[in-house]
Structures are given as C-alpha cells and as structure tokens.
C-alpha cells in the first residue's frame, strides 16, 4: 500500500520526534545543569577513555564556575575495536551541542554567556574540529561528507577558550619515543587493524586518526584557513591552550606541537606527567600541580598566559609568514632521484615569471622526499607515506604563504603523489599542474577534480620512447591496478585537460632544459599562452608501440600461467595428502581465478 504525501510527512514527523526523544534521553545522562546555567563546559575524553576519567577536570571547572552546565558524553571510541569515523563522531556531538544551545534559549530565554571546550588526547582533535565546523565551511578546505552543517553557528562566537590536554595534533604514530610496552601494544594493534581496515566496515577508528590521514591533515588545513579568515574579518579567536606532559610516552613532541596549524597555541608544560597522568588532578603533589596549571589555562587572560608559556620548539624552526608571495610553485621529483634538477626548473619558472609580472611575487618549493628505490615504489604503504609527506609540505606552505595560490610540476612518482593527494585530501588545492612522464592511471578522473575546484588547469606530457612508464607502471595498469598507470606513455583518457604528445626522448625528456620554458609558461599563465613547443613528435615509433604490446601480453600470459600452475600444484598436493578442508578452499580459489582470467580476455 502506497502512502499519500500527507501520510508520508506524518511518518517522517513521528520518526523525527522519536529520534529527538532518544537524543534527549542520552543528553540527560551526559548533560548536568548547575546553578544559573550561565556557562557551558564541553569535556571530551580520549581514546579508550570514559567520562568518569574526566572527573578531576569537571571538579576543577565546578570549583571555578558554580553556574556552569557540563556536557561530558561517552564517545564511541572507548574500545580498541571501535569503528566509527571521526567525522561521524564530530557530526553527532555537533548536533548535541546545537540541541543544548537551542534548549537553553527555549528554557531560559537567553543564551550561554560563554562556552569552553576541553579535550584530552583524541578528544582534543574532536573539540578542535567542533569549533571549525561551528565556525562555517571554507571553500578551499571543505568539510567531509558526514559533516552536514556548512554555515556559521551563533554559538561559535561564544566559544571563549579551547583547552587541549596532551592533544595529538598531528595524529598518532608508532615511534621509538614510546616506552617499550606501549610500543609493542601499538605495533600489535596496528598490524591487526591495518589489514582488517581494507575490508569495508571493519576499519578501526584508530586508523582514521593516524598521522597523515585525511581527517588529521584536512583539520589542520581548515584550522589555518579559519584563523586567516578571523584575521581578515578582525575577529578575535578563542584562546587555545595546549598542555604538554613532560613524560608523555604516547604523543611525541613533534606530534603534539604543530608548527603549521598550532603555531599560535599557548603551550604550558605539565611536570612529572605521562600521557595518562595528564587528567589525574588528585590530591597528590603532582596532581595538585597539574590542577594549578589547568586552572591557569582556564582562568588567566591571553597576555598572562603568554608570560607563562614555554617554547616547545626551536625558534629557528618557525618561518615568518610571507604575505608578499602571490604564487608558490611545487617542483617534485620521481623515484631513484634526489631531485637536483627541481631547483633548476624552479629557478627558470621564477625568473620567467618575474620578467612577465611586476605585481606577482613567486616562491618555490623543491623539498625532496629522498631517494625512493623501485622496491619501495611497488609497496602501497611506502607510496602512501610519500603522499603524506607531500601533504605535510603543502600544509607548511599553506601556513607560511597566506595569500598565495599554489601550482605544481611533477615528474614520474611526483605525479603519483599529487594525484593521490587530490584523491585523499579535501583541502588539497592547486591552480596550474604540469605532469611529466606520469605513472598515474590513464583513467584518472580529472573531470571531477576540475569540477570540485581542486585544480584549474592540467598539462600532461607524454614521450616518444618512455620505456620506464611503458614497461613498468603501464603494465600494472594492464593487470588491474587502479592507481599506477601509463599516462606518461599513452596519455590520460580524460578530455578535460591539455596533453602534449609526444616529447622526443626517454623518461626524462619532458623535464630536460629544452622544455623548461614551455613548463614555465603553463605554470605562470595556464593554457592561455602557448609557445612553439619545438621538440614535439607527431607519434611514437610503431616498433616501440608494437614491442610494448607484445611485451605486455607476454608478461601477462606468463603471470597468469604462473598463478594457474602454482594453484594447480597446491591443489594436487592437498588432494595427494588428503587434506580435504583446505582442498575445498583451494578449489573455490582456483575456480574464482580461472573465471576472472576468462572475463579479462
């Protein structure tokens, strides 16, 4: 039976009412109203924590403000097996705070005077993200799909202070900074969680908050851009204080101190405190000292806190922002290369730009991720680390060049790094992009990247005899890789970008000096001005193309025969030994492989 429109609307209203009732019941157990309810303190626990572990924080806050309401929820990462994404956690808590705010106005006919956000460890990341979401989306670093709110919320202006206790501002990672038991525990948990995370629905929450992940790096970019907007609009941001444990065995100094997005934090040292001790503000000597420092963070004004703060980093590590720079050019090398040539190309682009424009000032980024051997290139995990490295460099540039637009020149593996960064991070944005000898899949979706504003213009060079791309990454594309491919050999299939085919020469042809001016012209002006390219060939040699086709098919046949023979031998051996349980498994696997091979051909 089909419902009428009115009946359907009534069903939705009943559902929403029930949902609202469930939310109220949950909030009633986490929200404590006190006194005149003038303030709201939001307190979020850490990974594998509980609201009970935040009781000392609550007591300190209650002593300072008897008219404050407390919201201390139990978050869905109290177990190591938790699988809720951080974005969903943020969205849920955002809705709860929104409800508390509106309910306060409805009940008392007035707003809270102030809101204070306190987060411990992973909870510190959540409170930062809550503030970002409440402050509205920035187009250059859009929110994740799970985040529904895009506009500025009124209660964001009431957030007076954000206190981060042992906050993992760059995410967590396994490091030798950890004590041995912690190192072994994290290593074991990660080695179990990572392969399971490849299975849909089984990815652990801890994997979402590891250093370099989209949630972490997009949050850092959003924080930088939000505070840039505050400065432009002459808005005073909340005081943000980071409490650092002197013996923190989980979050190393280079992870809780973020020079890119957290350079304006006020840092306070907490003596004799490891990671878990940071919220133990009991009656012991060390507990009382932690309590005193926490109360300083809560009550003292910005200037007084600046007098108390420590410098957790070498001042030489800080680079003053360059507001005069209008364009930043990334030039990134490939594998088995340390990138000496990148400096030369960067100088040529900069020199050519300065001759053309007096009102634009260029800077270059030619950092190297080091020598990257071909064996590491074959490993997805190693390639992911280099993508995260590129995003780290991007965030540094985003912080140091507040008024600049970014462009990119990549060769070989450098093209892979940007392609994956654009796929992975919502905040990754480049204006003009040049790919040379690209190892990216030919089916890469440039149209969506252009539509989303992640890039504006793309130029891809292919070479006449790029043996490296033709025999290696293109072969992986032929056997089913969705990431590696032969875009530097046969070009991208996308019609949305500019492509030059073919540069005369081998793998390095498109980055040789004869082509520097052409690269520079596209980076500076995009496709508007095109020079006489000069070193272009009309097509690749038929001998080269024919040999590649023969070689690829030969390798594919050898690979498939190896798989069939290997599985066949295993099946024969199991039958011979009468291991019937594993025989069934091998029969299923063998049948599946044969079917896939037949479909492929």
pLDDT in tens, 473-503: 888 888 788 899 999 988 999 999 999 878 8
- How many other CB atoms are found less than 10 A from the CB of residue 589? 13
Report the half-sphere exposure of 31 (CA within 13 A, side-chain side): 19
pLDDT of 51 over the 90 cut: yes
Of 58-72, 344-358, 571-585, where does mean pLDDT reach its minimum? 571-585
N- to C-terminal Cα separation, the chain: 47
Angle between helices 380-400 and 413-424 (to 10 degrees): 70
Q: Which helix (H) or strand (E) holds 56?
A: helix 55-64
Of 103-107, 185-189, 214-218, 453-457, where does mean pLDDT reach its minimum? 185-189
Of 159-173, 216-230, 581-595, where does mean pLDDT reach its minimum? 581-595
Sign of torsion, CA 307 317 227 241?
A: negative
551 or 594: whose pLDDT is higher? 594
The distance from CA 115 to its chain's CA centroid, rounded to whole angstroms, is 28
Q: How many residues does the chain have?
A: 601
Q: For position 196, what pLDDT does the model report?
A: 83
pLDDT of 504 over the 90 cut: no
pLDDT of 509 over the 70 cut: yes
Of 11-25, 174-188, 342-356, 471-485, where does mean pLDDT reach its minimum? 11-25
Q: For position 18, what pLDDT does the model report?
A: 54
Beta pairing, strands 362-365 & 327-332: parallel
Q: For position 198, what pLDDT does the model report?
A: 81
- Which of the four pLDDT bands, split at 50, 70 and 90, describes residue 314? low
pLDDT of 317 over the 50 cut: yes
- Which of the four pLDDT bands, split at 50, 70 and 90, describes residue 22? low
pLDDT of 10 over the 50 cut: no
Write 142-149 long-range contacts (CB < 8 A, 24+): 142/426, 142/427, 143/87, 143/222, 143/426, 144/87, 144/214, 144/215, 144/218, 144/426, 145/87, 146/85, 146/87, 146/88, 146/90, 146/91, 147/87, 147/90, 147/91, 147/94, 148/91, 149/94, 149/98
Q: What is the DSSP letter of 331?
A: E
Give 3-state DSSP helix, strand, coil % of the chain, rounded to 5: 50, 15, 35
pLDDT of 360 over the 80 cut: yes
d(CA 376, CA 103): 55
d(CA 143, CA 150): 8
* Pair of tokens at residue 157: 């202006």
The whole-number average pLDDT for the span 22-47 is 83
d(CA 434, CA 459): 5
- Which of the four pLDDT bands, split at 50, 70 and 90, describes residue 15? very low
Give the tens place of pLDDT for each residue, 195-208.
Answer: 888 887 889 898 99
Question: Average pLDDT, whole number, for the chain?
Answer: 86
- Which of the four pLDDT bands, split at 50, 70 and 90, describes residue 12? very low
* Percent of the chain predicted with pLDDT > 90: 58
Of 126-130, 141-145, 448-452, 503-507, where does mean pLDDT reach its minimum? 503-507
Report the half-sphere exposure of 515 (CA within 13 A, side-chain side): 25
* Residue whose token pair is 């980093």: 313
- Which of the four pLDDT bands, split at 50, 70 and 90, describes residue 26? low
The whole-number average pLDDT for the span 534-554 is 61
- Which of the four pLDDT bands, split at 50, 70 and 90, describes residue 25? low
311 or 183: whose pLDDT is higher? 183
The whole-number average pLDDT for the span 566-571 is 71
Q: For position 261, what pLDDT does the model report?
A: 76
The whole-number average pLDDT for the span 534-560 is 62
d(CA 527, CA 504): 21
Contact (CB, 8 A) for 32 and 70: yes
Q: Which residues of 415-425 are buried (b: 16+ CB within 10 A; e: fewer)?
A: bbbbbbbbbbb
SS3 27: helix
């Amino acid at each position: 039976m089909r419902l009428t429109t009115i009946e359907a609307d009534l069903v939705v209203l009943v559902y929403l009412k029930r949902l609202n009732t469930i939310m109220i019941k949950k909030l009633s157990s986490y929200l404590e109203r006190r006194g005149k309810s003038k303030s709201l303190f939001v307190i979020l626990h850490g990974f594998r924590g509980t609201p009970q572990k935040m009781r000392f924080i609550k007591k300190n806050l209650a002593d300072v403000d008897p008219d404050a309401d407390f919201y201390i929820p139990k978050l869905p990462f109290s177990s190591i097996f938790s699988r809720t994404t951080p974005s969903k956690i943020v969205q849920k808590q955002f809705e709860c705070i929104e409800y508390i705010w509106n309910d306060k106005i409805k009940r008392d006919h007035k707003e809270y005077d102030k809101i204070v956000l306190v987060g411990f460890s992973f909870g510190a990341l959540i409170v930062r993200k809550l503030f970002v979401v409440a402050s509205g989306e920035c187009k250059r670093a859009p929110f994740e799909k799970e985040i529904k709110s895009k506009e500025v919320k009124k209660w964001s202006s009431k957030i007076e202070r954000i206190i981060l206790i042992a906050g993992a501002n760059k995410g967590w990672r396994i490091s030798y900074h950890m004590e041995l038991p912690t190192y072994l525990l994290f290593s074991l948990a990660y080695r179990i969680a990572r392969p399971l995370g490849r299975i849909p629905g089984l990815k652990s929450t801890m994997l979402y908050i590891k250093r370099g992940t989209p949630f972490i790096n997009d949050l850092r970019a959003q924080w930088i851009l939000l505070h840039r907007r505050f400065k432009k609009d002459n808005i005073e941001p909340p005081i943000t204080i980071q409490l650092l444990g002197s013996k923190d065995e989980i979050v190393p100094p280079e992870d809780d101190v973020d020079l890119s997005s957290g350079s304006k934090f006020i840092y306070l040292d907490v003596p004799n405190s490891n990671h878990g001790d940071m919220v133990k503000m009991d009656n012991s000597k060390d507990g009382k000292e932690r309590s005193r420092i926490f109360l300083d963070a809560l009550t003292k004004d910005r200037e007084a806190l600046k007098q108390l703060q420590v410098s957790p980093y070498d001042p030489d590590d800080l680079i003053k922002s360059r507001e005069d720079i209008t364009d930043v050019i990334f030039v990134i090398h490939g594998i088995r290369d340390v990138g000496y040539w990148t400096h030369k190309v960067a100088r040529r682009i900069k020199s050519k730009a300065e001759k053309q424009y007096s009102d634009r000032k260029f800077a270059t980024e030619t950092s190297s991720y080091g020598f990257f051997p071909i064996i590491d290139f074959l490993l997805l995990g190693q390639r992911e680390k280099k993508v995260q490295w590129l995003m780290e460099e991007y965030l540094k540039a985003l912080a140091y060049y507040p008024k600049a637009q970014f462009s990119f020149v990549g060769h070989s593996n450098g093209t892979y790094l940007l392609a994956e960064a654009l796929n992975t991070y919502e905040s990754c944005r480049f204006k003009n992009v040049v790919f040379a000898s690209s190892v990216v899949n030919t089916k890469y979706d440039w149209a969506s990247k252009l539509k989303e504003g992640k890039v504006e213009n793309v130029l891809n060079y292919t070479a006449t005899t790029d043996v490296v791309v033709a025999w290696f990454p293109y072969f992986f594309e032929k056997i089913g890789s969705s990431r590696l491919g032969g875009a530097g050999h046969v070009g991208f299939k996308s019609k949305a970008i500019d492509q030059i085919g073919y540069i005369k020469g081998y793998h390095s042809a498109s980055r040789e000096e004869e082509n520097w001016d052409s690269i520079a012209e596209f980076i500076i002006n995009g496709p508007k001005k095109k020079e006489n390219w000069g070193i272009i060939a009309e097509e690749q040699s038929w001998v080269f193309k024919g040999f590649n086709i023969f070689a690829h098919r030969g390798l594919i046949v050898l690979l498939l025969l190896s798989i069939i023979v290997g599985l066949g031998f295993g099946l024969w051996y199991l039958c011979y030994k009468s291991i019937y349980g594993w025989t069934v498994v091998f029969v299923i696997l063998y049948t599946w492989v044969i079917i896939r091979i037949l479909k492929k051909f």
